[in-house]
Structure 1
Amino acid sequence: MKAKRLTFHSFILMMFILSGCMSDDRMKTVEVNQQAAESKSNAQNTRSTQTVTNEPKADLTPLFEEVKHLEGQEALAYFESLPTKGLSNSDILDFFIQLPLSNANEDIVNLFKNDQFQLYMNTYPTGEPFGNYRWTMGSGTEITGSFSNLDLKLPFTDYIYLKEGPVGDPTKTYRIGVATHGFDQPWNVGLADAAKWQSDKHSNIELDVRDAQWDNDRMADIIDSFILQKVDGILTWPMVESETTIAPVKRAIEGGIPVVSVDRMTGYEQTTSRVTGNFPANGAQNGMYLIQKLAQEGDLHANVILLRKPLGSTADAIRTGHFLKVLSYFPEINILKSYHDADHSAHALANMQEALNEFPIIDVVFNTGDHQAIAAYDATKSADRLNSRKDGKKVIFLSIDDSKTAINAVRDGLFEVNTPYTPFISDIGIRALVHLITENDSIPHDIITPNIPMVTRDGATIFGFKTQSPDDWYEYTFGASLE
């Protein structure tokens, strides 16, 4: 059965209104000892000095007041002036993430409102990593994935400290159920790999990983089966925020079973903890790259196709919304059409083929996942349209999700940019869940992971923001090696 979607937006609106009136007494002050973990992270930084850290943040409000009424070349000039304003690398990224929507591009404004992106943005957790967590390029842990059997490197293994060995009562076995989707996609297999690696470090944890196979009703059944088994905790990766997903999560929590979501959110505000990634940075950085690329070409006009994840998914709404905010300052950008797929490559390929048949000039393809970018490139190449822009310029492919295929495509000049979104955050979710189950620790409602700089072919600087090269990030990528 297909999940109900007709009531989705009205449901999200109701949840947003309720959450605005709700005092979040769950958001406790968290004191997790990370001094040893931070020392380990710094010691491992032998290759790069680039650091994502909790440095003091600049007050960006005056800048937004200056830029919000600008458009076209004036907006571009303002973006280009950011390096002169005393902003750090992370401040510049925050500027584009928090940039207000402009009214300069009416079509983008209408799409933004029709798809209700602001509702998602208002409810999506933002802020800094907790516990004064610092992540340094090069840190993390090399593993062999239990499910993929691939050599991987998990970047955030020192985020939320958990001692190796038995947890809680060493005479007790703690059972954790993992409800996920998509073992036919390497990103989701990587997610399971990270969770299993963490659970295997503790001899008295049993992990039961179930694949709902992109079926929300099956996901609900899996969570309900965990409830009947009286597991000690549940980790979940939901496909979309829908009533079908919310109801079983609510039943679990009301039954005394903590639930931690990773990456996407369940839609249930009282989910015990939510490990969220850098969706806003993904979309904003794609927008940053595109505007500078068009400026370098000397023409801010572009026809853009949007290849998007399922309607209602957090990943789709947040990434696309932040991308469009940056583009909204440029009236000559034309969004030709927006397509959704079901997180399947074949569907994404069919969408791109349809777009190629319908539109004779496509300058840019924005993809909210790497499978869409790969499908878009393949379809365009097969149609002999790779260099079909004005004056024979190449179609610009903007990609998100850092598979080895996608990062290699940037290295080879097939994709112009990739904004990493690692699947290796479920180990954080397992550690949070173990703290909740065994130690009664004050784990926060929202566990924010660091923003990761975009990957460009030469590690270029975009509006004063230093990006990474493919070699910088390659060790953290997911999927099978192509080398």
Structure 2
Amino acid sequence: MRKKVLSMALIAALMIVTMFSVAGCGQKSSSGDADKGNGQTSEQLASSGNEKIDQLYKEVANLQGEEALKFFEGLKSKGLNDAEILKFFIDLPLSQANKQIAQIYKDEGFEMYSKSYPKGETYQDFEWTKGSGTKITGPFSKNDLKLAFTDYIPLPEGPVGDANKKYNIGVVFHGFSHPWLINWADSAKWEADKHSNVQLNVQDAEFDNNKWASIMDTFIAQKVDGILVWPMVEAPTGPPVTRALEAGIPVVSVDRTTGSKDITSRITGNFPANGAQAGMYAVWKLAQEGDLNAKAIMLRKPLGSTADAVRTGHFLKVLSYFPGIEILKSYHDTDSREEAFTNAQSALQAFPDVDMFFGTGDHEALAALEAAKMANRLNSRKDGKKIIFLSIDDSKEAVTQVKDGLFEVNTPYTPLIADIGMRVLLNIVSKTGEMPQDVITPNIPMVTQKGDVIFGMQTQTPEQWYEYTFGPALK
């Protein structure tokens, strides 16, 4: 994959809008040494909207370490089903038990991101069933793919709206060079191609926010009927979206959110479920090993991106109940595997003891695995245990690493959701149907090698999810 390099001006802008990155500011304490009663002390605990779950938050608020673990292990016996267990962890309040993690959470403004990110029920209570979806050949990538959510807000094949009208749709994203993003574009074009009176103009901003804004302004000048967008980061994308809206052009975002609160619609994925499940697995795995103490490196997506902030925040919330977990350092990249590899090498050189790598994208976990192998550090933990790799985003390569036992877990996030965004946009521009501002995609259970039950929730095996993975077939 081609290396993407941000301009110094963009880096400066990102630093302004996203607080600052943690660099191992806390001291490790064992779960046995922490003071009792230093758990969640806020009088206003998070609300899940589920009375049964909210009651459990009151019970877990001041638990930590082994006591918190025991509580998590008993969720099934407390009457929660699999979906409710995941919801419990997604909306879990931050604990003060791990002071370093609580401080990181505060310093990086993760609560703000969590509150602003759309969560809730799917549109018209859509439920995804395993096996559903549509097999396609990616129009751009030529990859064999299976779109999971083609039954979500379906549009019949053929002309939309006025059959005598041509609907001109602009699409701006970053990344024909990126395996996740080109498949994102595949799903958008596949849906548009089903409708004979839809004309699509797909533009790649090549990880340059200034170019992204310029493309938006060109679409506005062309008076397109609607615009579908993938924004890399939030703040710089707000003004261009606002200009389009002021020109009367509806804008729909898919995946990450823009800096505009007035955007017409936004299709959001399961970022909270990704981070929460990575945290669930990390704690469960440490418990299986018999030691809740661990040192972690976080390899993260760009500063200011929704994917990074929401996933990391939800991951840290789960870990915050365990004082023996230390975050050694965070490293950011610009959605580049090459940069992630350099960051992983730096981490391994800087820290002689690393128990786990958490990546907010699978390219970071893959880079960390490669770096650990090259440094002969793969089995460098105490007693020769293997480093734990927590991956998010479900490429064929990453899910295969789970199957082979090199990654412990993958929490899927399919790029094949831009077809939903295209259908929402076409409903809007053709006045076929009214759409809400927020369309939320279903949560997907994590993938583990043996389909383990994690805190009472059934996970998937690599074989069960593999048909929905993205990217080219492995050689």
Is the 8 Å Cα contact of residues 362 and 394 (structure 2) preserved in structure 1?
yes
TM-score (norm 1): 0.89
Report deviation, 1:222: 0.6
Tell me the equivalent position of 2:84: 91
Task: Specify the code of the residue in structure 2 equivalent to 1:211.
Answer: D
Is the 8 Å Cα contact of residues 199 and 207 (structure 1) preserved in structure 2?
yes
Task: Specify the code of the residue in structure 2 equivalent to 1:76.
Answer: L
How far apart are the structure 2 equivalents of 1:10 and 1:396? Answer: 33
How far apart are the structure 2 equivalents of 1:435 and 1:114? Answer: 41
The gaps in structure 2 that reach 5 residues or longer are 1-6, 20-48
| Distance change >3 Å, CA 57–CA 73, structure 1 → 2 | same
How far apart are the structure 2 equivalents of 1:234 and 1:2? Answer: 28
Q: Choose from 94, 97, 104 the match for 2:97.
A: 104
TM alignment of 1:314-329, pairs within 5 A:
314-329=306-321
How far apart are the structure 2 equivalents of 1:295 and 1:89? Answer: 20
Is the 8 Å Cα contact of residues 18 and 108 (structure 2) preserved in structure 1?
no
Tell me the equivalent position of 1:354: 346
The gaps in structure 1 that reach 5 residues or longer are 14-55
TM alignment of 1:219-258, pairs within 5 A:
219-242=212-235, 244-258=236-250
Cα shift readout 1:218-268 (whole Å, capped 9, x = no counterpart): 0000111111111110000000002x2111100001100000000000110
Task: Specify the code of the residue in structure 2 equivalent to 1:414.
Answer: L
Cα shift readout 1:93-123 (whole Å, capped 9, x = no counterpart): 0011011000001110111111110010110
Report deviation, 1:318: 0.3
Is the 8 Å Cα contact of residues 146 and 196 (structure 1) preserved in structure 2?
yes
Q: Choose from 117, 120, 128 the match for 1:127.
A: 120
How far apart are the structure 2 equivalents of 1:442 and 1:200? Answer: 22
How far apart are the structure 2 equivalents of 1:301 and 1:219? Answer: 44
- Bigger shift: 440-449 or 265-274? 440-449
How far apart are the structure 2 equivalents of 1:68 and 1:174? Answer: 53
How far apart are the structure 1 equivalents of 2:201 and 2:256? Answer: 20
Is the 8 Å Cα contact of residues 3 and 217 (structure 1) preserved in structure 2?
no
Tell me the equivalent position of 1:482: 474
- Local SS of the residue matching 2:72: helix
- Local SS of the residue matching 1:176: strand
How far apart are the structure 1 equivalents of 2:181 and 2:457? Answer: 30
| Distance change >3 Å, CA 3–CA 224, structure 1 → 2 | farther
Cα shift readout 1:49-93 (whole Å, capped 9, x = no counterpart): xxxxxxx96621110000010000100010011111111100000
Cα shift readout 1:411-459 (whole Å, capped 9, x = no counterpart): 0001000000000110000000000000252200000000000000000
Q: Choose from 71, 75, 86 the match for 1:82.
A: 75
TM alignment of 1:23-422, pairs within 5 A:
59-242=52-235, 244-422=236-414
Cα shift readout 1:153-206 (whole Å, capped 9, x = no counterpart): 000001112111011111111111110001111000110000010000001111
How far apart are the structure 1 equivalents of 2:177 and 2:163? Answer: 36
- Local SS of the residue matching 2:296: strand
Is the 8 Å Cα contact of residues 419 and 455 (structure 1) preserved in structure 2?
yes
Tell me the equivalent position of 1:40: none
| Distance change >3 Å, CA 12–CA 338, structure 1 → 2 | closer
Aligned residues: 440
How far apart are the structure 1 equivalents of 2:140 and 2:299? Answer: 29
Report deviation, 1:6: 5.2
Provide the alpha-carbon RMSD of the alignment.
1.5
- Local SS of the residue matching 2:125: coil
Report deviation, 1:132: 2.3
How far apart are the structure 2 equivalents of 1:225 and 1:12? Answer: 28
Name the % identity.
Answer: 60
- Local SS of the residue matching 1:418: strand
